[in-house]
Amino acid sequence: MGLLSRKATCNTHGQDSSYFLGWEEYEKNPYDEIKNPDGIIQMGLAENQLSFDLIESWLEKNPDAANFQRQGQSIFRELALFQDYHGLPSFKNAMADFMSENRGNRVSFDPNKLVLTAGATPANETLMFCLANPGEAFLLPTPYYPGFDRDLKWRTGVEIVPIQCTSSNGFRITKSALEEAYEQAQKLNLKVKGVLITNPSNPLGTTTTRSELNHLLDFVSRKNIHLISDEIYSGTVFNSPGFISVMEVLKEKKLENTDVFKRVHIVYSLSKDLGLPGFRVGVIYSNDDIVVATATKMSSFGLISSQTQYLLSALLSDKNFTKNYLKENQIRLKNRHKKLVSGLEAAGIECLKSNAGLFCWVDMRHLLTSNTFEAEIELWKKIVYDVKLNISPGSSCHCNEPGWFRVCFANMSEDTLKVALNRLKMFVDGPSSTTRSQSEHQRLKSLRKMKVSNWVFRLSFHDREPEER
């Protein structure tokens, strides 16, 4: 082991989270309607598979884009040799226009302030490298996306301090919660460099309110720190209230030429709104010229292929397509969300009221044997191994109340969703209504006792090796 770096041998990636362990169990026994009808159904993956047919139809009608041609002539050589990490101008222009359209054209985006990255993961990590030093901290409202423990911390050395939000007000961000998190960081001798939010929220599926955005801007202004708004779900808002970007609030407050304007940064991606995670398309938008210049240099470690940029520049430049796609995709998400919520209600399970995203924040507190995170993990084990549904426990999202789960609904067919909901209802109704094989019970019983990871309960700072603090 001495031949390897501390990074290679330490355990700070977060792979031991139940969020990732559920994926591993699914991959061992994936559900298939024909080949493996008793397998695990993946409800822990926030993918949008509801509108692929719209994109496929566009590709059939626009063969030049898919075949790397311009007016019938091949541009393969041109794309194959393109290496400018600033990106194709046509793609950056199309992306800036699409981001504006996604926000009702209430704000505009300057293509020169866009930095292209291979997805939102490197976009967030790059911003950490630009805005904070190892051992400094960002505040994140809980519950938050479990992958942030990897994306923001693992390679950068940046720490996460939770802003504790509770179900009493629908997990909204409050002034007092912001101040308490800041004070907690100070007690730990951590210098706070900023706040990062997801809007719409992952895992809550709710949009950030205008009041919350005002609180956040006032807070970062007073503390002289940064605000990152991860808006990768902005096009998934399917119900009122509508989506409000932090850029809109900056404009409304007439902060364009102020210092705080330079300290607000946006992350966006096409992985959720267009359902293209495999294309690896993300962007950073910043009003700080130094951040843009530095992030652009760093983007050479994770570029978007020129072929992908060319194809998507053509797709996003087709305004008829983008307008129809956004509208139809939101209709489909709304319908699918309704089916999940009604199916859960039939099983006696409620959700946090939500209006966006590819998931619901599901309340299973009444199914716990005790009000503890250990009981939450035991329930999660039963749902994974007995019911054979992979969902994400709230503890993996750093929720401070046991019994909440994130359940995804857009990464499967409607028939598969019906199977999943039927399984869950049979489980809730009781053992007499559920057929469980002896082997499944034995496997659950013989599972290694998976204690809730320390990182669920403690600040990430204490989980690092001493040399990495």
If one compares 19 and 48, the residue with the highest pLDDT of the two is: 48
Arithmetic mean of pLDDT over the chain: 88
The confidence score (pLDDT) of residue 4 equals 87
Q: How far apart are the first and last CA of the chain?
A: 21
Percent pLDDT > 70 in the chain is 90
Q: Is the pLDDT of residue 460 over 70?
A: no
Tokens 């031991």 found at? 16
**List 31, 145, 325, 385, catalytic entry:** 145
CA–CA gap between residue 241 and residue 253 (Å, rounded): 20
**Structure confidence by residue, pLDDT tens digits, 91-111:** 999 999 999 999 989 999 999
The confidence score (pLDDT) of residue 15 equals 65
**List 92, 272, 381, 425, catalytic entry:** 272
Q: Using the 8-state DSSP alphabet, how is residue 383 labeled?
A: I
Q: Does domain 67-322 have CATH number 3.40.50.300?
A: no
Q: Is the pLDDT of residue 83 over 90?
A: no
Dihedral Cα 347, 353, 357, 363, nearest 10 deg? -40
**Structure confidence by residue, pLDDT tens digits, 4-40:** 888 787 777 666 666 678 878 899 999 999 999 999 9
The confidence score (pLDDT) of residue 8 equals 80
Mention every residue, 6+ apart, whose C-beta is less than 8 A from residue 187. Answer: none
Confidence at 431, pLDDT banded by 50, 70, 90: low
Give the containing element (helix H, strand E) for 133: none
The yes-or-no answer to whether 6-53+330-427 and 67-322 have a common fold is no
| 31 part of the active site | no
| 232 part of the active site | yes
Mean pLDDT of the region 198-212: 96
**List 230, 273, 363, 463, catalytic entry:** 230
Per-residue three-class SS string for 55-111: HHHHHHHCHHHHCCEECCEECHHHHHCCCCCCCCHHHHHHHHHHHHHHCCCCCCCCH
Confidence at 310, pLDDT banded by 50, 70, 90: confident
Beta-bridge partners for 192: 137
CA–CA gap between residue 267 and residue 226 (Å, rounded): 13
Shortest CA distance to 436 belongs to which of 427, 448, 449, 428?
427
The confidence score (pLDDT) of residue 264 equals 97
If one compares 389 and 13, the residue with the highest pLDDT of the two is: 389
342: Cα within 13 Å, side-chain hemisphere: 8
Q: Is the pLDDT of residue 128 over 80?
A: yes
Amino acid making up residue 422: N
The confidence score (pLDDT) of residue 307 equals 86
Cβ–Cβ under 8 Å, residues 6 and 467 = yes
| Superfamily of 6-53+330-427 according to CATH | Aspartate Aminotransferase, domain 1 (3.90.1150.10)
CA–CA gap between residue 45 and residue 69 (Å, rounded): 35
**List 225, 232, 284, 304, catalytic entry:** 232
| 254 part of the active site | no
Domain boundaries, the chain: 6-53+330-427, 67-322
3-state SS class at 407: strand
Dihedral Cα 229, 235, 241, 246, nearest 10 deg? 20
Least confident of 128-132, 151-155, 176-180: 151-155
Cα 409 to chain centroid distance, Å, stands at: 14
The confidence score (pLDDT) of residue 456 equals 37
| 173 part of the active site | no
Confidence at 451, pLDDT banded by 50, 70, 90: very low
